[in-house]
Amino acid sequence: MNTTIGFIGLGIMGKPMSKNLRKAGYALVVCGHVNKGPVEELAAAGARIADTPRQVAAQSDIVITMLPNSPQVEQVVLGKNGVIEGARPGLVLVDMSSIAPLASRKLAAALAARGVEMLDAPVSGGEPRAIDGTLSVMAGGKKEVFDRCYPVLKAMASSVVLIGAVGAGNVAKLANQIIVALNLAAISEALVLAAKAGVEPQLVFQAIRGGMAGGALLEAKAPLMLDRKFDPGFRLKLHIKDLANALETAHDIGAPLPLTASVMEMLQALKVDGLGEADHSVLVRYYEKMSKIEVKR
């Protein structure tokens, strides 16, 4: 396996994703200018360390970025000592961050001028699936570029789907985040209703999980709500970022998102209460505050 992968962004998601690439046997180069702890872990696993994104690109066949939002990706890719400065024709950038589709297209155009191809390939599944290597990847880009990168993506994911041209991956991710946000609100409403009515929320969860209301999100998040475990698997502030990108994109193309806007305001209220770093399942506390009741086992 001769492909060398550069990985930039070793956060909650990026660190386990990069570890899975090493487990799959890929040579790995990581950027060591920010978080020293994760960098040292990857170095111990056999990764090489580069000082800048430019140096990462110069040593890699495929560069993966996993960063918080559009400005960070643009800085790492197009800024001083960025990926583009170390790029050579034939390099592929796979941006696995969740950013605005228009930002992905801007990056792709700038890279194309240097002979560099790009996929936007955001993921769904959160930290547990990043650790297990069972993420879902939604990709946008040319099919031949996707085919080249497919084995690399499969080392981190159980589902890898090409949606369309560059930007389409992030459109799919925005759709995913809308569905997750609205379902989190529905789960929160339902469990708070049960608690306020004097019925055990845990038993309601047990009763409905096998029916039409059941599903992966209910299984993952209802227990966290019931156990009051809001340590971040996916930070509330990042879901706010995703919904902001969804609303901005929707406004640009004339697609009103009234339910998304409502949940966005709930998340903003929780952020004002100091819960931006908590897991997005903390949305239940918005309803608890209004109903003066706590959901717990």
Structure confidence at residue 277 (pLDDT): 96
N residues, the chain:
297
**pLDDT over 70 at 1, yes or no:** no
- 92-105 pLDDT, tens digit per residue, is 999 999 999 999 99
- Residues with a catalytic annotation lie at 173
Q: What percentage of the chain has pLDDT greater than the value 70?
A: 99
Q: Which two tokens stand for residue 205?
A: 């969860």
Q: What is the pLDDT of residue 224?
A: 97
**Range from 33-47, 54-68, 152-166 carrying the lowest mean pLDDT:** 33-47
- Phi, psi (rounded to 5 degrees) for 237: -65, -30
Give the model confidence (pLDDT) of 220-249 as tens digits: 999 999 999 999 889 999 999 999 999 999
- pLDDT for residue 2: 83
pLDDT per position as a tens digit, 140-184: 999 999 999 999 999 999 999 999 999 999 999 999 999 999 999
User: pLDDT tens digits, residue range 189-230?
Assistant: 999 999 999 999 999 999 999 999 999 999 999 999 999 999
Give the start-to-end residue ranges of the domains of the chain. Answer: 4-165, 171-291
CATH number of 4-165: 3.40.50.720
DSSP assignment of the chain: ---EEEEE--STTHHHHHHHHHHTT-EEEEE-SS-HHHHHHHHHTT-EEESSHHHHHHT-SEEEE--SSHHHHHHHHHSTT-HHHH--TT-EEEE-S---HHHHHHHHHHHHTTT-EEEE--EESHHHHHHHT-EEEEEES-HHHHHHHHHHHHTTEEEEEEEESTTHHHHHHHHHHHHHHHHHHHHHHHHHHHHHTT--HHHHHHHHTTSTT-SHHHHHHHHHHHHT----SSBHHHHHHHHHHHHHHHHHHT---HHHHHHHHHHHHHHHTT-TTSBGGGGHHHHHHHHT-----
Q: Indicate the range of 32-36, 105-109, 253-257 predicted with least confidence.
A: 32-36
Q: What CATH class has 171-291? A: mainly alpha
Round to whole Å and give the CA distance between 123 and 2: 25
* pLDDT of residue 32 exceeding 80: no
pLDDT at 34 over 80: no
